[in-house]
């Protein structure tokens, strides 16, 4: 599109993926003209008062715009939906929309979950986004309140920090402005862990297991330069004892990645590091064996502490460090 020659209508439709509300359409067409376009099949009625201005298939992007426009002024994509719009996680089928507490929408579009809030400060909102949505820190907190899967939220938070889309100060600021939010202590705990460098769900789970089992505190995502001058990262490193724990995801079974990992491990052994490697599934399925091997490596390196079994505290007991979060 040549923007200098585009009409106001063209620009509006370009920004909104060819979705338009009835109120917006009336600035350019009469009611009769709008109805004629719908009846002739040139436009599609997505919902009461919302139209798609072409006859092609309805895509997910159209559904997002329909959800926002049908919910009226000051409506924003929120939660996991807003996070996905910022590139975090998969787009959920149910579209979360956040509106002011005072607003009422009697018939939202099918597949839209409406949420109301009395706390919608400017810093939580990305009004210029297409479609408008909450900013990442608010999206994560709302997703944590509305989701039934803690694993999914932990992965979402970890990914947001890994990609530098959010900082700990951003999350803490939102938490401070929403003192009655559900699960706020838990989301603060997960954000602190992610900010500390544990950027994947298995790494977060390993850190939790290690603390429950009484292992010493470790550094995460430690940077070093290898013998070839390349920057490398340790998943977890117990600095005082030079014990490194690497957690391998599915990508590590590819031949090229496998050899790169072995070569890196060899470099670490040559440099005097004790390297332990575990597949991500072992963190979930065999945590006691993982902890036992890490304990043995730490003991061999001179650690005098005693690690407990991951089951010593009971599966339903929260680790002690949660109490101060």
DSSP secondary structure string for all residues of 54-121: SSSPPPHHHHHHHHHHHT-TT-EE-HHHHHHHTT-SPPPSSEEEEEETT---SSPPTTEEEEEES---
CA distance 174 to 119: 10
Q: How many residues does the chain have?
A: 325
DSSP three-state, residue 266: helix
Domain 201-300 indexed as CATH 3.40.960.10: yes
Q: Which two tokens stand for residue 227?
A: 């013998």
Domain ranges of the chain: 3-58, 72-195, 201-300
> By C-alpha distance, which of 128, 125, 122 is closest to 142?
125
Which pairs from 46-49 meet CB under 8 Å and 24+ separation? 46/19, 46/70, 46/109, 47/109, 48/107, 49/21, 49/22, 49/23
SS (H, E, C) 136-155: HHHHHHHHHHHCCCHHHHHH
What are phi and psi for residue 94, nearest 5 degrees?
-80, 125
- 51 strand-pairing partners: 20, 45
> Cα separations (Å) of 222 from 157, 194, 232, 234, 261?
20, 13, 8, 5, 16
What is the pLDDT tens value at each position of the chain, 325 positions in all?
Answer: 555 567 999 999 999 999 999 999 999 999 999 999 999 999 999 999 999 999 999 999 999 999 999 999 899 999 999 999 999 999 999 999 999 999 888 889 999 999 999 999 999 999 999 999 999 999 999 999 999 888 889 889 988 988 889 988 899 999 999 999 998 888 988 888 788 766 677 888 888 899 999 999 888 766 665 556 656 667 888 999 999 998 876 444 444 555 566 666 666 666 678 889 888 888 888 899 999 999 999 999 999 886 555 554 444 333 333 332 2
> By C-alpha distance, which of 64, 73, 48 is closest to 15?
64
For the chain, the distance separating the N- and C-terminal CA atoms, rounded to the nearest angstrom, is 51
CA distance 245 to 240: 14
Region for residue 236 given its phi and psi (left: phi exceeds 0; alpha: psi -120 to 50; beta: otherwise)? beta
């Amino acid at each position: 599109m040549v923007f200098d020659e585009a009409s106001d209508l063209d620009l509006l439709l370009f920004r909104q993926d060819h979705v338009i509300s009835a109120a917006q359409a009336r600035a350019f067409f009469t009611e009769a003209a709008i109805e004629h376009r719908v009846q002739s099949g040139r436009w599609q009625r997505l919902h009461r008062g919302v139209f798609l201005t072409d006859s092609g298939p309805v895509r997910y992007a159209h559904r997002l715009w329909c959800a926002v426009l049908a919910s009226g002024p000051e409506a924003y994509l929120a939660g996991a939906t807003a996070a996905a719009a910022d590139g975090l996680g998969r787009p959920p089928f149910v579209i979360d929309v956040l509106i002011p507490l005072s607003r009422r929408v009697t018939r939202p579009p099918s597949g839209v979950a409406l949420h109301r809030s009395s706390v919608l400060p400017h810093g939580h909102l990305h009004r210029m986004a297409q479609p408008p949505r909450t900013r990442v820190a608010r999206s994560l907190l709302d997703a944590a309140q509305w989701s039934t899967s803690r694993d999914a939220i932990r992965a979402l938070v970890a990914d947001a920090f890994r990609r530098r889309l959010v900082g700990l100060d951003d999350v803490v600021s939102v938490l401070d402005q929403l003192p009655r939010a559900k699960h706020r202590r838990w989301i603060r705990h997960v954000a602190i862990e992610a900010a500390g460098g544990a950027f994947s769900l298995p790494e977060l789970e390993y850190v939790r297991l290690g603390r429950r089992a009484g292992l010493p505190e470790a550094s995460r995502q430690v940077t070093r330069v290898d013998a070839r001058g390349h920057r490398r990262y340790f998943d977890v490193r117990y600095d005082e004892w030079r014990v490194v724990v690497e957690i391998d995801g599915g990508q590590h079974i590819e031949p090229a990645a496998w050899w790169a990992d072995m070569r890196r491990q060899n470099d670490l052994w040559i440099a005097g590091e004790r390297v332990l490697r575990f597949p991500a599934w072992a963190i979930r399925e065999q945590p006691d064996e993982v902890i036992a091997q890490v304990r043995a490596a730490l003991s061999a390196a001179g650690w005098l502490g005693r690690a407990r079994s991951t089951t010593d505290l009971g599966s339903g007991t929260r680790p002690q460090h949660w109490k101060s979060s």
